[in-house]
A and B are shown apart, each in its own frame.
Chain A
Amino acid sequence: MNNNVVLLPILIPFLTAIILMFAPKKIIFQRTVSLLGLLVALGVSISLMMTVQQEGPQTLTFGSWPVPFGITMVSDMVSVLLVTTTLLLTIFIVWYSFSSIGKEREQFYYYAGIMFIITGINGAFTTGDIFNLFVFFEVFLMSSYLLIVLGGEKKQLQGSIHYLLINIISSGLFVITVAFLYSVVGTLSMADIAQKVATLEQPAILTTIAVLFLIVFGLKAAIFPLFFWLPRAYAAAPTPVLALFGALLTKVGVYAIMRTYTLIFIHDQSFTHELLMILGIGTILFGCIGALAYFDVTKIIIYNIVIAVGIILIGVSQMNTAGVEGAMYYIVHDMLIKAALFMLGGTIIALTGTANLRKMGGLMKRYPVFGWTYLVAAFSLAGIPPLSGFIGKLLIVQGGFEANNPWMSIVILLSSLVVLLSVIRIFIYAFWGEEQPATISISQTTYQRQLLPTIVLVAITVAYGVGAEAIAPYMADAGETLLNPAIYINAVTGGE
């Protein structure tokens, strides 16, 4: 089914970015155009989601070439859900940027950088070609390099050099792995690779390539033992950029692992998926240690990203309906809630003038609405039932028991306690206790303008949790696409 709409969620941010580059100094123009572009793209991707729900995966092969020879873009339920979530939360991050990023950065291609990052991420979610995936990875990585150094503070320069180096190395590894895969199967289209792999009678070299891909995408997604770069690099970025990175960048790596491990490398699951599960458990454990170890608002939330990555990957590694569907529920929830938490954390830091928990206190008295919003977000992150984190974790835990891995489910349940403890600790230190004299407090209007997008975003996550029934058919569809590679392959090749 050829459909040009597939391209619009990628093209609209791209064109917006180009328009934004013409008038960098006009802040009003920058703000309105970037918000408008995102809103239009969100509308298009929601309508695309409806189409995918009714008519199955939509594909587009460039230049009307026959399938394995051209680049194919594939919008199945998995990718269209992630694209929609990306656009939705970027709107709030851009809105939050208005009052927090500062004029100097806004005048220096900040919004253009965000639009390019969205272009790359949506492209990576939508592409059906393994080398094109590499190119889209580079598109959003290059923009993320810009956003992480933009401003040129000492802290940013220190953190960004490590971030750049680790990504250069992992991009090199990515191309190496693609070269190995090309020499084995002789094709680059993912659907075609999946077909060829199925006919190859499971040689060990494919398992090696699968593990190499796990290393490449694991470096992007920050899984154990490859997460070492993430805390320092992310701590260097200013708040809205951090929210964007925390919500989106690691999730692209997770999506790439999800896609390759459900579509291509399903020939030797007792090794590859077992490895994925063990690494997932390690990721959760080390994330938990980090989340408890720090008295720093940003660091605590950063280590919570690592925990969530572990939980999603464990869900994928189960390869049963409950596990995969739970992973889909959880990845969408986690993208939204991490953006909200980083925005809340940024406002806490702006209000108290420090990231150190020991030096703050008593915010509840002066900012009650803010306090309650934070509490809802914290409960939602931990997965308290009516809120958004619950259903995903429930399904993943159920998937673990069904696949006969009870220990894994128990680790996930225990990690929820640690997550709750770590975020409630921020609440207790920052909002309870003696009121501290603020050192560099932001004005009341700035505070209100930062609070508004955050409250709306938290409200959306609450709606996502309460209205899980409404999204259930979409999630079921996504889970089914992941578990039956035939759906994807037939959509791309036209059912030959």
Chain B
Amino acid sequence: MEIVMAFVIGFLFMAATYLMLSRSLLRIIIGTGLLSHGVHLLVLTMGGLGGEAPPVLADGVEASQFADPLPQALILTAIVIAFGVTAFILVVAYRAYQSLETDNTTHMKGSDSDE
């Protein structure tokens, strides 16, 4: 199972890298979204995919059957952080589109003061 996950995550990273190397700002932001999905799946996979029961104490579940609770907590933290950052960059991109009138990142380079 971990092997399959590794390939899926690798594909997500590949797609994210490809999108982030493109010119349109929105494609880049979609790339960062895919990157954070890949990252979160990787944390889950690296914690080990063993364990049949969710990590909630319940009657009749052996201690060895629980999934590792730590990566889930880490992912939850990373998700909200990525969510906050993504919301911010989306607004900055919108603001940049309004005032620079382009979403092409090659046109965002340089300013009038450059020699």
Minimum Cβ distance to chain B for residue A186 (Å): 9
* Complex contact A157–B20 (CB within 8 A): no
Known: A165-B32, A182-B47. A158 touches B88 (CB 8 A): no
Q: Roughly how many angstroms separate A295 CA and B114 CA in the complex, as a whole number?
A: 11
Interface check A322, CB cutoff 8 A: no
Q: Roughly how many angstroms separate A165 CA and B17 CA in the complex, as a whole number?
A: 12
* Complex contact A180–B28 (CB within 8 A): no
Contact with A along B67-87 (1 / 0, CB 8 A): 000110010011001001100
Tell me which residues from 31 to 87 in chain B have a Cβ below 8 Å from any Cβ of chain A: 32, 35-36, 38-40, 42-43, 45-48, 70-71, 74, 77-78, 81, 84-85
Interface check A145, CB cutoff 8 A: yes
Interface check B92, CB cutoff 8 A: yes
Known: A158-B109, A161-B25, A165-B20. A145 touches B42 (CB 8 A): no
Q: Roughly how many angstroms separate A179 CA and B96 CA in the complex, as a whole number?
A: 34
Q: Roughly how many angstroms separate A160 CA and B32 CA in the complex, as a whole number?
A: 16
Stretch in A30-38, A167-175, A271-279 with 4+ CB within 8 Å of B: A167-175
Known: A168-B32, A172-B35, A176-B42. A135 touches B88 (CB 8 A): no
Q: Which residue of chain B is the closest to A131 with respect to CB atoms?
A: B74
Q: Which residue of chain B is the closest to A355 with respect to CB atoms?
A: B113
Contacts of A179 in B (CB 8 A): 39, 42-43, 45-47, 71, 74
Q: Roughly how many angstroms separate A482 CA and B99 CA in the complex, as a whole number?
A: 48
Interface check B23, CB cutoff 8 A: no
Known: A131-B74, A158-B100, A182-B46. A175 touches B95 (CB 8 A): no
Stretch in A73-81, A148-156, A468-476 with 4+ CB within 8 Å of B: A148-156
Q: Roughly how many angstroms separate A110 CA and B48 CA in the complex, as a whole number?
A: 44
Minimum Cβ distance to chain A for residue B77 (Å): 6
Interface check A164, CB cutoff 8 A: yes
Known: A152-B99, A154-B99, A169-B20. A161 touches B108 (CB 8 A): yes
Contacts of B32 in A (CB 8 A): 165, 168-169, 172
Contacts of B25 in A (CB 8 A): 161
Contact with B along A124-162 (1 / 0, CB 8 A): 000000010011001001100100010010110110110
Q: Which residue of chain A is the closest to B111 with respect to CB atoms?
A: A155
* Complex contact B95–A157 (CB within 8 A): yes
* Complex contact B20–A152 (CB within 8 A): no
Q: Roughly how many angstroms separate A356 CA and B88 CA in the complex, as a whole number?
A: 33
Q: Roughly how many angstroms separate A179 CA and B68 CA in the complex, as a whole number?
A: 13
Interface check B105, CB cutoff 8 A: yes
Q: Roughly how many angstroms separate A355 CA and B20 CA in the complex, as a whole number?
A: 33
Known: A145-B88, A168-B32, A168-B89. A180 touches B46 (CB 8 A): yes
Closest 3 CB pairs of A and B: A183-B46, A179-B46, A179-B43
23 contacts between A and B (CB under 8 A): A138-B81, A145-B85, A152-B99, A154-B111, A155-B111, A161-B89, A161-B96, A161-B108, A165-B20, A168-B35, A168-B85, A168-B89, A169-B35, A175-B40, A175-B42, A176-B39, A178-B74, A179-B39, A179-B43, A180-B46, A182-B47, A182-B74, A356-B113
